[in-house]
Amino acid sequence: MKPLELMEQGRFLGEEFLLWLWMRSMAEGGASGEDGDGSGCFVDDAIQLVSERGEVKEISLRKGNPAESREAFEALARGMRPAKMKLRILSGDLEWVCTLNAATLDMGTLKLPPSTGKAPHERLHDRLFLLEEGAGHLERRLKGFLRARSEDPDGLQESMRAWVKAGRSGEALPTGEAPWEA
């Protein structure tokens, strides 16, 4: 299969991964679910939702807190899917911010934690290390999602439907503040 065809075939998985990250950022404090991993992954202030059906094909929700907005959950309840989502990953003192693309899983507009290197090659090593660390946090979560998706697709669908329903009615809001708001 050609690379572009493979990308199109896998787009739905990327969209569902973003949904899963979104749900976990609200319901599980952004945890990866892996033992010993204290990192958190949260949806930040930008979500782009798309649909092939319906009168509205694309919605862009920006600024404020789109992840907990009624507009977002109403769009999800109509069958729209996240095409891009701005994410914030926290691990200890380190923070990554990027826009994750569902179709390609590319990290756009990626802001890395500060580098301590002074010389160009030191900076390069630092930045490459931080790139891989950031990608690692996403990949651990992708593994967790794939496991849930393949082992119990019905269970995952039910829990996601319940989350969308609760979000649409306003019940799904987390009890605490997001860490960056503290």
Partner 1 sequence: MSILQGTVSLKRFLVLGPVPDPKDLQAGLAQDQFRPFQDGMEEERIGWCDWRNPLITPPDEDWVSQERFAVFGLRIDTRRVPPALLKAHVDLRLQTLQKEKDLAFIGKEARISLQDEVKLELLRKVLPTPKVVEVAWDLKGGILWTTASSSKAQGALASIFIKSFGCEIHPLAPLVLAGRLSPELSVEGLMALDPLDLELEEA
Q: Which is nearer to partner 1, 31 or 74 (CB)?
A: 74
Q: Which is nearer to partner 1, 34 or 176 (CB)?
A: 34
- Structure tokens, 160: 């996601």
Q: Which is nearer to partner 1, 129 or 180 (CB)?
A: 129
Shortest distance in whole angstroms from residue 131 CB to partner 1 = 6
Shortest distance in whole angstroms from residue 91 CB to partner 1 = 19
β-sheet bridge partners, residue 46: 62
Contact between residue 71 and residue 56 where contact means Cβ atoms under 8 Å apart: no
Shortest distance in whole angstroms from residue 93 CB to partner 1 = 19
Cα–Cα distance for residue pair 170/158, rounded to 1 Å: 18
Q: Which is nearer to partner 1, 29 or 165 (CB)?
A: 165
Cα–Cα distance for residue pair 13/132, rounded to 1 Å: 22
Q: Which is nearer to partner 1, 28 or 132 (CB)?
A: 132
Residues near partner 1 (CB under 8 A): 3, 6-7, 9-14, 16-17, 19, 76-79, 102-112, 115, 120-121, 123-125, 127-128, 131, 135, 139, 142-143, 146-147, 149-150, 153, 156-157, 160-161, 164-165, 168-169
Shortest distance in whole angstroms from residue 146 CB to partner 1 = 5
Contact between residue 52 and residue 58 where contact means Cβ atoms under 8 Å apart: no
Shortest distance in whole angstroms from residue 177 CB to partner 1 = 26
* Angle, vertex CA 35, rays to CA 29 and CA 41, nearest 5: 30
Nearest to 138 by CA among 181, 174, 106, 178: 106
Element (H, E) at 42: strand 40-50
Cα–Cα distance for residue pair 50/59, rounded to 1 Å: 6
Count other Cβ atoms within 10 Å, centred on residue 105: 17
